[in-house]
Amino acid sequence: MLIRKIDDEVTLRLFNVGDAREFFNLIIGSKPYLKEWLDYVEKVEDTVRP
C-alpha cells in the first residue's frame, strides 16, 4: 500500500473499502457546509479552476 508520512500527525494513504463507513459519516456530518459549495456546481466547467 502506498503510504506517505507528511509529519508526526499526518499520513496520506490510498482510500480502501474499509474507509467507507468513516468517509460516509464525515460526508453526512459535513452536508450543511458542503451544500453551500456544491450548490454552485451545475456543469463540469464549474469544477475547473479559472
Q: What is the predicted pLDDT for the residue at 47?
A: 83
List the grid coordinates of 20: 467507507
User: Domain boundaries in the chain?
Assistant: 17-50
Q: By three-state DSSP, how is residue 39 classified?
A: coil
Query: Is it the case that residue 40 has pLDDT exceeding 90?
Result: no
Degrees (nearest 5) of the Cα angle 34, 44, 32? Answer: 10
What is the rounded average pLDDT of the residues 1-5? 90
Mean pLDDT of the chain: 90
Write down the pTM of the prediction: 0.57
What percentage of the chain exceeds 70 in pLDDT? 98
Q: What is the predicted pLDDT for the residue at 39?
A: 84
